[in-house]
């Protein structure tokens, strides 16, 4: 299940009277529970580490990292390391709306290479790789709001 599918499921729950929804198959399990102003989503999948997301009923959720692991940096259960946001702003994966993204999953990036832009107060901040690594996962959608210490990428040193 990718983030788009999870989003659709949450939307479905929010738009109906469903108070609790659970889906389980061989590979993954997802539970969505309505709790007052917040929807609570527990997702446990084969590749993912267990993660709890709190959505406050608005289109662009502000994710909260897993409370059982350290936040900064974010170690991933399976493999790889996390690159987290150093500032509050909006994540963009390309330098311009019609330009190709800075990086793709599987790509190897050099130290100092720009991975993404976080826009804050009309300033474009380039986020660079601290070391040579391979991109395992891009954790944010284009134009998604990010907080300090939010997980942006999962990478493995190369």
Partner 1 sequence: MFHKILIANRGEIALRIIRACKELGIKTVAVYSTADRDSLHVRLADESVCIGPPPTLQSYLNINAIISAAELTDAEAIHPGYGFLAENSAFAEICENCGITFIGPTSEIMRLMGDKISARQAVIKEGVPILPGTKEGVKDGNEAIKIARKIGFPVIIKATAGGGGRGMKIVHSPATLQNAFATARAEAQAGFGNPEVYIEKYCLQPRHVEIQIVADKHGNVIYLGERDCSIQRRHQKLIEEAPSSAATPQLRKAMGDAAVRAARAVGYNSVGTMEFLVDKENNFYFMEMNTRIQVEHPVTEMVTGIDIVREQIRSAAGLKLRYGQSDIKISGHAIECRINAEDPVSFTPSPGKITAYHTPGGLGVRVDSFVYDQYTVLPHYDSLIAKLIVHAETRNDAIKRMARALDEYIIEGIKTTIPFHKRVMASKEFIEGNVDTGFIDRVVLE
Q: How far is the CB of 125 from partner 1 (least distance, A)?
A: 10
Indicate which single residue of 9, 88, 94, 108 sits in contact with partner 1 (rule: CB under 8 A).
Answer: 88
Q: Check binding of 56 to partner 1 (CB under 8 A).
A: yes
Looking at 148, 156, 157, 158, which residue binds partner 1 (CB under 8 A)?
148
What are the tokens at 2?
A: 């990718």
Local structure of 93: helix, strand or coil:
coil
**Cα 70 off chain centre by:** 16
- Tell me, residue by residue from 102 to 121, as one string, x for binding to partner 1 by CB under 8 A and - for no binding: ------------------xx
* Chain position carrying tokens 């709190």: 54
Give the whole-angstrom CA distance, residue 87 versus residue 149: 8
> d(Cα 86, Cα 88) in Å, to the nearest integer?
7
Q: Should residue 99 be labelled a site residue for partner 1 when binding is judged by CB under 8 A?
A: no
* Locus of tokens 């309505």: 34
Residues of this chain that interact with partner 1 (CB under 8 A) are 37, 56, 58, 62, 64, 67, 71-72, 87-90, 120-121, 145, 147-150
């Amino acid at each position: 299940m990718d983030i788009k599918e999870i989003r659709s499921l949450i939307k479905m729950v929010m738009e109906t009277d469903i108070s609790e929804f659970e889906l389980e198959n061989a590979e993954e399990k997802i539970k969505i529970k309505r709790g007052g102003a917040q929807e609570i989503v527990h997702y446990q999948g084969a590749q993912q580490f267990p993660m709890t997301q709190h959505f406050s009923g608005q289109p662009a959720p502000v994710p909260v990292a897993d409370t059982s692991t350290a936040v900064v940096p974010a170690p991933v259960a399976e493999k790889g390391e996390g690159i987290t946001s150093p500032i509050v702003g909006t994540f963009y994966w390309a330098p311009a709306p019609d330009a190709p993204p800075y990086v793709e999953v599987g790509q190897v990036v050099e130290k100092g290479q720009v991975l993404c832009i976080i826009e804050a107060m009309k300033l474009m901040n380039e986020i660079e790789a601290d070391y040579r690594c391979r991109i395992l996962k891009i954790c944010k959608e284009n134009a998604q709001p990010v907080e300090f210490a939010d997980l942006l990428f999962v990478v493995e040193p190369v």
